Each structure stands twice: as structure tokens, then as C-alpha cells.
Amino acid sequence: MLEAILVMAFGAVVLGAALGYAAVRFRVEGDPLVEKIDAILPQTQCGQCGFPGCKPYAQAIAKGEAEINQCPPGGEEGIHKLADLLGREFKPLSAEHGIEKPKSVAFIDEQTCIGCTLCIQACPVDAISGAAKQMHTIIADECTGCELCLPPCPVDCISMVPIAEDLPHWKWKHPVIMLKEVP
Amino acid sequence: MSRTLHTFKGGVHPPEHKAESNARPVHAAPLPRKLVIPLRQHIGNPAKPVVSVGERVLKGQLIGAADGYISAAVHASSSGTITAIGPALVPHASGLPDDCITIETDGLDEWITRTPLDYRALDPSELRMRLRDLGLAGLGGAAFPSAVKLDPGARHDCPTLILNGGECEPWITCDDVLMRQHADDILQGVAVMRHLLGSTEVIVGIEDNKPEAIAAMQAAAAKMDFATEVVAVPTIYPAGGAKQMVQTLTGKEVPSGKLSTDIGIQVFNVGTAYALARAVHRGEPLISRLVTVTGHVLRPQNVEALIGTPMQALIDVAGDRDGTTGVLMGGPMMGVPITNTGVPVIKATNCVLVKSRELFPPLPRALPCIRCTRCADACPAELQPQELFRFAKAGDFGRAQEYHLFDCIECGCCSYVCPSHIPLVDFYRYAKSEIWAREKEKRASDLARERHDFRQFRLEREKKEKAEKLAAKAKVKRAELAAAPAAEGAAAPSDADAKKALIAAALARAQAKKAEVAPKNVDHLPPEAQREIEEIEARRAKIREIAHQPLETDDKK
Amino acid sequence: MPSPFILDRTSVTQVMAWVLAALLPGIAVYVWLFGPGILITLTLATATALAAEAAMLKMRGYPAKPFLTDLSAIVTAWLLALSLPALAPWWLIVTGTLFAIVVAKHLYGGLGQNIFNPAMVGYAVLIVSFPVQMTQWPGPLSLTDAPLTLAQSASVIFGGIPQATLDAVTMATPLDALRTGLLQQYTVDEIMTQPIFGYYGGIGFEWLAGAFLLGGLLLWALRIISWQVPLAFLAGIWLAAGFLHFFDAGRFGAPWFHLFSPAVMLGAFFIATDPVSGATTPRGKLVFGFGAGLLTIIIRTWGGYPDGVAFAILLMNLSVPLIDAWTQPRIYGEARRRDKEPPA
């Protein structure tokens, strides 16, 4: 009886010491979870999730205040990655936050643009260049396709153009090997 | 031949099919009426067009300038008129169009003035720039800009220069024929390479199934003023792969993720050396190359083809036959399927291989992997193809990279030996391009994050600056107001009084301003004009409303 | 379809056909030594396996033809049949084969997906469930008075002959005899004087083992199996048995005796070399084979069953992912370990 107690007590002390050592030795600085979540989010900064940007959404997920399925640009793949990271169940994209669309960039019709600068103020990544009464242009390489510039435009001169597959962007497709019979 | 040869692991022995095409004499392909010259024929940045539609160009004239360090120029392959600059079909696995310059030839084949380069007199970096502007790119298949490869770097020179005459792909014989006919010129090119790289040792590796080429190169080497070792290497696919050639000849391995120059070795294809000799000694840019036309044609042979010639023209030279089931650019192991035979010959086109059912029976249906590891035995990169396949198929790209996906040279040995007939290389290509795409996406999202953070910071700063400015202004005003009554000798006003005075002053100012800007020509207008003004005002209000909408929704959130 | 556009001629069917061909010498010796009953067992197992395979393919929505003609089901059936006692009752054969094909193969995803060798799963299930029937081996013909004809064997297998008659022809296998003898405190030398023992292994059994060795060498010569697995397996057996025998020859059988049991040769060349459930890296194959050999002797010596080949191979199947992960080979251009060391 005494032996058993001693053995268990010894075990507890050793394991406790090991855990304590590990806690000190492998301590992580800061809150890396928000960063990790933020790294998965597409950084479109579109606000479709209901938060004013990707970082605030990441913080909300980390705090457990938001679901992982509110990011349409991240799509199913993004939800899967978040589910893996957080050990949560996968959920299909929440319809009220939007639908997954092919990646697009904004395009300004230069004939119609009146140079009102409203879109410039709306762009979350400063990807529109121009000045008052000057024609505006989208810097396509920096446009995230968030569509936030569409509603402020008083003359509806901005449209979303899906990124066409051209040679430098072409990808090898997943090979099709037919094992099963097609029903 | 005293050199001890080394063997690389793996490799396969597919039927060679060299005899079909290497016996016939070489002819120049007829001048086509239309030349389509892609701007992206090499690895790196595509060339930038420097001509415009309607312009007349001469043979050898620069039409696309090199853009950046890793790039190469493109030239008009014959004289004629530019008829189009824009997307056209190119030989690429995707079948997608790419930017090209189209020339309507005038049949005169009129050259620009060519000036040979005195390579010994030129500064090496100047010489390299000239070669880049002459459009030199590797002719072995990858088309890497040669000028970049001829730079030994600041730190070291490149003691060993290997000339690759392996040509291990079945069917292809253009290097074989080139070595038989132009061995002297090839070595002239090697002399320039030696000069630029500072090499002390020159080795020519040729597969031992090309005895005529070996003899020709040996005879030519004997005439040169530098020592060149012509070595017959065992015939085994892919002995002509650069890394495999390095290992066979020197016993050294190119470190994973590094270049052969890191171990003091540079490898060039024999065709590149020939093109280099023509560029330096005759001032000719790279506008033509030897192409093997073989397979299901009447007269398999090698033709000297201008860059931009439609492949169908070469097939016609060799004799088109019925029962063609497809055309490949390159050999059967690594070639690219061509969906339209109108696509042009480019610098990387070493072979046009016409398929038929007899020569290339349809591949049998794939079965599941049984992990027999024949692929691992055949892999010259010593990878575990069965594991890479598993990871690539499952989309586990991280693990695929851990298992050295990017050391795969896509030689096709694994697919060739697979008893389950799985298109393994396809899976690796898929995984590689997915990983690249993801890295690109990652960079884009990092950029977006950075720019968004900066914007937040900027807005914050602007707000703060505005507040500070206002505060400073207010302070000055308050001091003024406080000073004025004091000067008049009145009782010192309280802070609240000062504020009140401030607001009153501002109000007065605003009212004065309003009176000022109120239009003075709207008092006595006809009703139509009045209505028009109202309508305009309404539209303005609506626009203002729309403009405010995002802010409101933001507030709601 | 991108490159390559040509293929070597080998196919899964061809590989499996060679494995079946390499089993033929063993089957011939089996018939010669133990009578023609094994042919009935093989036929029954083959028929069951093909029927089960076809049914499973249909249920899982796969085309029957390419998968039935890959012959993998027949290989499983033959390996299982050759592991069963000659003259095993028909239901034992059918149950074992069904379990191997349906559960061990198709429920894991079919060809190429099974983590355990199907034949050995079938065998293990049978020996755990029906230990009595699984240890009733007929003695070699040279030791029995009246060899059974094909018809008589059929009657035995399909239950037409009462148990008593079967008892007349069955006797303890050499491994059983060794185990029983050791339990009864005899020394190995004393046990070896029983008539069932021959030069190295059991009388007859050693010839069967030799025939399997011959077939295995054929497979190796054709490069269908690698040398690593069989060699390491046999080395594991020889070293472990030799080690024990060296310290106490009275209590542990000689290494040659263990090596020349048919199960070991069959296991080394035909079962442990199953690519699907085995290790894939060269060093991994050595570890896999050696581990299986070692475990075989451990189970034979201290385990509850007379033979341990099946359990040893199943246990090693279980550790394949770990072995593979730990034995990834150096690739072309990767620094060798000695190169990594800093210069002194």
C-alpha cells in the first residue's frame, strides 16, 4: 500500500518536473495563434466576414467569437486549413457572408471615370492610383479583388475582371486516372 | 581515353530509334511565307518587342530586346514585314497562346550587316551582353539564356567545362548530326566558352551509340590549340541530363538545390556551342537550328529550320503520312504534345516527332500503385517516386517537398517502368506547379497584408496630424483672444468665455462665407430652369448619399 | 496526355504471373510429397478469391476486367492455400480466402491499398479461430501407409470422410513435434530422433522449403523481388535461432532446422516480399526482413502458436510507415553524412 503511494507520488513529482521544465524551455512569446490564423486568411481585406479586415477576423476567431467559415475569398480550402489549425470541425462556407468567386481584379473604365477619388479612399490596400479630377487606375498586381471600390463609385465605372489563365499563370492539372467506372 | 567513368543510379534503356533519321543529308527547310516568333522562347523574362506592325525587318534584325539579366533577345529569321504583334499559338504543354511577332516574309532573305565579335578584345561582361542581345539560349531543350551561364560569378571561375553531346532521348539525332558535320565550329564555340569561364579542362561527353560523332569530335579536337577530351559514355537514358553527365564524367554530384557552377563545372549542349561560334565569328544571331523530324514520316531526317517556321512545314519536308496520331516537340520521354502543327519552331525545338498507332500505341489503363519500387530503382535523382506520387495525389505538397519533389528532373524513367502504368511525372508536374502557384499567392497575400497595415498606419497618422494641427490652431486663437481683452484692460476672461468667443467668431466667419458663395444669379429664373436646378441638386444629394454608404455600413459593423 | 509517351513492357499482370510461376516448383514438390490434395485446395481458393474479388469490385464500382486479370487475387489465394494444412476442410479454405480478399484487401481499398498482407491476415484469422483444424497436417507420404488419391482427398476436404479416417493420416508437423517435445522436457536432440525429422528440417518439408527457395531465386533473378527482404529475413531467422541454439542447444532448435521449414522459405521469398504491405526503401527492406525473421523465431520459441511467420510479417506490416520514414535514402546531390562533418 505504502509502496504504491510512494510510486505514484514519485511519478507525479517526476512528471510535474518534466512539465514544468517544458513550460519554461518551450515557452512561446506573444500570441502566435492570431498570426497563424492571419497567415491562412487570403488578406483580401474585403470585410465580407463582418470584420474590418483580415487581422480583426483572425483575432475574433482566436478568441472564439467568430466561426471559421465566414471568409468567401479563402474558400473551402481556407476553411479546411483553419479547421486543421484549430482542431475544429469543417463547415461549408456560410452563405450570408458571400460565395466563393474566381479570383478577379478591379478594372476602371477610363472613359467613364470622373476622378472623384471615392474608390481611392475605399481601397484597403492602396491599389488605386490617381488624384482629384484625374483619371484613376488600378494597380492590378496589388489589387486583392475585394470589390470594396465598387459601391462608392458614383458612375459605376469599376468592374471586376476574372484573372484569365495565360501562359505564365498556367498550372498543370491534376492527372486524371480512371480507376472507377463512370456511372 | 584514360578517364575513369562513373555511373549514376537508375536509368532505363528505351528503344533508341536513332538510325531512322541520322543517315540522311541535312537540308534547309524552305522559307515559309509566315514566321511566328514567340517573345518567350527561353527561361526568364520574355523579350520586349522593339518593332511595330507594318515595319519592314531584315534577316537577323533585333525584333524583341532582352528584358533584364535572365532574358534573351529574339530576331527576325528572315526579311519581311511585321504583320502582327500579340498572342498566337506556341508550342507549350498548355496549348495556350502567348505573345509573338509575326513576319510576312518577302522571299529576299536579306541580311542585316553582320559584324563578327573579337571576343578576346571585348570585356567579358560586355561580351555576355552582346551574346544576350544575339539571342543565345541553351539548345538542349531548357533554353536557359546562355549569357547567364557564361558568367562564372565574382567569386570563382569554372575550371571544368563539359560539352554535352549525350542526346539520350530516343529518336532525336540533331546533336549527333551536328557533331558529325560541324565539329570544328562547335569547338570554336567552346573556345569562347573557355575564355569566358576560365576553364582549364574541357570534356565532351557523347553516348557510345554515336561512334561517327565521337570520331568527328576527336578529329576536330586534335586540331585545336587547347586540350579537349572526347569521352564516350555508356548509352543509358538519361545519360544526357546535365546532372547525370556531370556525375558520369567527373564522379561529382551537383548539390541538391545548387548549380553545377557551385562545384566548378559548367555544362553546355553542343548545339549551343555551335550557335555561339556562329554568333561570335559571323555575327549571326540565333535564328535557326537543326531539328530532327522523325517518327511516322516518309523520310525521317534533320533539317536546318528558321526559328518561327511552322512545324507542319518541317513535317511536309519529311513527308507527311496517313495515320498520324499526334505530334511531339522533343523526344518520347520528355517531349511536349503539340495540338496544332501550325505552331512555330522555337529555340528549344530539337525534334518534331510524329506519332502513329504502331510506333506509339495508346498507353494502357492505369492501375493502383503496388509500391513495387521499380520507379525508385529507375530514378536517376535517387528519389522515392512512389512516395512522391502518394503525396502529390493526396495534395500533401508539404510532404512532397520534404521528400525532395524539386530534385525531380522529370525525365520520365519512373513512368516508363511503372507496371501499373501510372503517369507519375504528371503528378510531379502538377504538384510542382501547385506549389509555385501557392507561393505566388502567399507572396501576393503578404504584400496585401503589408499594404493594408501601412494604410491603417497612414490613416491613423493622418488623423493624429489633423488633430494636432487643429489643436495648435485653437491654441493660437485662444491666446490671441486672451491677449486682446487684456490689452483693452478688461477683466481676464475665463476659459469658457474664450471658447464661446471662439465659436462665435467661427460662426460669423462661416456665415460670411455662405453669403459669399451663395449663387447670385438664381433669384429670378424661369420655372424650367428652376426645375433643372432642383433635379441637379437631387442628383448631387443622391451621389453624396451613395458616397456615404460604405462609411455607414462600416459604422454599423 | 503528357510525356513520357512510351512504356516498358512490364505490367502488374506480368509481375503477378511470374510470382505464380515461381510457386509452381513448390506446388510440384508438394504434390509429390503430400499427395494431390493441395491441387483441390488451390483450385477452391482460386475460385473463391476470384468470385470474392469480382463481387467486391462490382460493389465498389470498379471495372472487373483490369482488376481480375491483374492476377493479384490468385496470388493471395495460392499463398494462403500453400500455408494451410494439406487436406484442410473446404469451409476453412473458403473462410480464409474470403476474409483475405474481402476484409484484408477490399475493405482497405483494394489493390495497392492494403496495409497487411491479405493471405497472412486470412491465415492469422484461421489459426486464431480454428486452431485444431489448422494444425491437422497429413504426414509426408513416405511416412503414411496409404497415400490418398485425388478423389479421396476431395472427399476428405469436402467432409465425405469421417474425422477418424483423417486422424489416421495426420501427424504432428516438425514444428509441432518440437514444441510438444520441448514442453515434455525432452531435449532437441531427443526430439530430432523422431521419424518426422529429416536432414535439416522435417522429412519432406525440407524439400518443399528447397522448392520454394528455388522459385524465390527465380523471382530475384528476374528482378521481381529485391534481394534485401529475403536475405534479411533468412539472416534474421538464422542469427536469432543460431544465437539461442548456441547458448542452449538442448532447448532451442538448430538454425538450419528453422531455415528449412517451408513457411520460412515461402515467407521470405513470396510473402515478406509483397510490395504493397512491405517496406519500400532499400534499408527499410533490410529492417523489414530482419525484423520479420527475428520475430518469427521469437514467436516460435516463446509464443502460443507453433509457427510465427504469419504473425511476424503482420507485425512488421504494421511498422512499415515508420520504417519507411526512418530509412529514407540519400538522394542525388544531397550531402553525405561524412561530408556534413565540419573539417577538423
CATH number for the domain that contains residue A75: 1.10.15.40
The segment(s) of chain B belonging to CATH 3.40.50.11540 are: 27-356
Residue A51 lies in a domain: yes
Distance from the first to the final alpha carbon of chain C: 53
- Long-range contacts of range B219-223, CB-CB < 8 Å, 24 or more positions apart? B219/B183, B220/B183, B220/B184, B220/B186, B220/B187, B221/B183, B221/B187, B223/B184
CA B371 to CA B354: how far, in whole Å?
34
CA C304 to CA A125: how far, in whole Å?
71
Least confident range of B172-176, B232-236, B549-553, C72-76: B549-553
With contact defined as beta carbons under 8 Å apart, do B252 and B266 qualify? no
pLDDT tens, B125-148? 899 999 999 999 999 878 899 988
Query: Which whole-number Å values give the CA distances from B140 to B195, B269, B270, B330, B412, in the listed order?
Result: 21, 5, 8, 10, 17
Local structure of residue B17 (DSSP, 8 states): -
B302: enclosing H helix or E strand? strand B301-306
Residue B518 reports pLDDT greater than 90:
no
Residue C57 CB neighbours (<10 A): 22
Instruction: Report the amino acid identity of residue C95.
Output: T
Query: Which whole-number Å values give the CA distances from A180 to A55, A142, B205, C57, in the listed order?
Result: 44, 43, 47, 9
Which of B354, B370, B427 has the most C C-beta neighbours within 10 Å, making it the best mutation to test the interface with C? B370
Which residues of chain C have a CB within 8 Å of the CB of A179?
Answer: 62
- Long-range contacts of range A94-97, CB-CB < 8 Å, 24 or more positions apart? A94/A67, A94/A69, A94/A70, A97/A48, A97/A49, A97/A50, A97/A69, A97/A70, A97/A71, A97/A72
**Same domain as A84, residue A108:** no
- Residue in chain A closest to B444 (alpha carbons) equals A142
CA B174 to CA B20: how far, in whole Å?
12
Residue A48 lies in a domain: yes
Contact criterion met (CB < 8 Å) for B334 and C4: yes
Residue A174: name the closest of B442, B334, B395 by CA. Answer: B395
Round the average pLDDT of chain B to a whole number and report it: 88
**Same domain as A113, residue A63:** no
With contact defined as beta carbons under 8 Å apart, do B417 and C8 qualify? yes
pLDDT computed for residue C239 by the predictor: 95
Residue A13 lies in a domain: no
CA B106 to CA B83: how far, in whole Å?
12
| Cα torsion angle, C260, C261, C265, C268, sign | negative
Residue with cell 541580311: B111
pLDDT tens, B151-196? 887 666 788 999 999 999 999 999 999 999 999 999 999 999 999 9
Which residues touch C87 (CB under 8 Å, ≥6 apart)? C37, C41, C136, C138, C148, C153, C156, C157, C166, C169, C170
> The C-alpha cell of B101 is what?
511577332
Q: Which residues of A touch B (CB under 8 A)?
A: 38, 41-45, 47, 50-55, 116, 118, 122, 124-127, 142, 144, 148, 151-152, 154, 165-167, 169-175, 177-179
> The C-alpha cell of C12 is what?
502488374
CA Rg, chain B, in Å? 35
Residue B476 reports pLDDT greater than 70:
yes
Nearest to A151 among B451, B454, B549 (CB): B549
pLDDT computed for residue C342 by the predictor: 46
pLDDT tens, B98-119? 999 999 999 999 999 999 999 8
Which residues touch B436 (CB under 8 Å, ≥6 apart)? none
Least confident range of B150-159, B507-516, C26-35: B507-516
pLDDT computed for residue A122 by the predictor: 87
pLDDT computed for residue C291 by the predictor: 96
Assign C285 a pLDDT band (cuts: 50, 70, 90).
very high
Residue with cell 518567350: B40
pLDDT computed for residue C3 by the predictor: 79
Which residues of chain B have a CB within 8 Å of the CB of A179?
Answer: 366-368
> To the nearest whole angstrom, how far is the Cα of A22 from the nearest Cα of chain B?
27
**Same domain as A92, residue A112:** no
Per the confidence metrics, is the pTM higher than 0.80? yes
With contact defined as beta carbons under 8 Å apart, do B417 and B12 qualify? yes
Residue A141 lies in a domain: yes
| Cα torsion angle, B535, B540, B545, B546, sign | positive
Task: Quote ipTM for the complex.
Answer: 0.88
CATH 3.40.50.11540 is the classification of domain B27-356: yes
Residue A2 lies in a domain: no
Query: Which whole-number Å values give the CA distances from B501 to B480, B482, B484, B498, in the listed order?
Result: 11, 10, 12, 5
**Same domain as A117, residue A63:** no
pLDDT tens, C154-181? 877 887 666 656 666 677 788 888 888 8
Residue A162 CB neighbours (<10 A): 11
Give the range of the structural domain holding residue A119, as residue numbers without chain letter. 104-163
Helix (H, G, I), strand (E, B) or coil at B64: strand
> The C-alpha cell of A51 is what?
470584420
**Same domain as A142, residue A127:** yes
Residue A16 lies in a domain: no
Nearest to B367 among C70, C280, C329 (CB): C70
Q: 3-class secondary structure for B109-163?
A: CCECCCCCCCCCCCCHHHHHHHHHHCCCECCCCCCCEHHHHCCCCCCCCCCEEEE
In terms of average pLDDT, the best of A90-99, B510-519, C159-168 is A90-99
Total domain count, chain A = 2
Residue C343 reports pLDDT greater than 90:
no
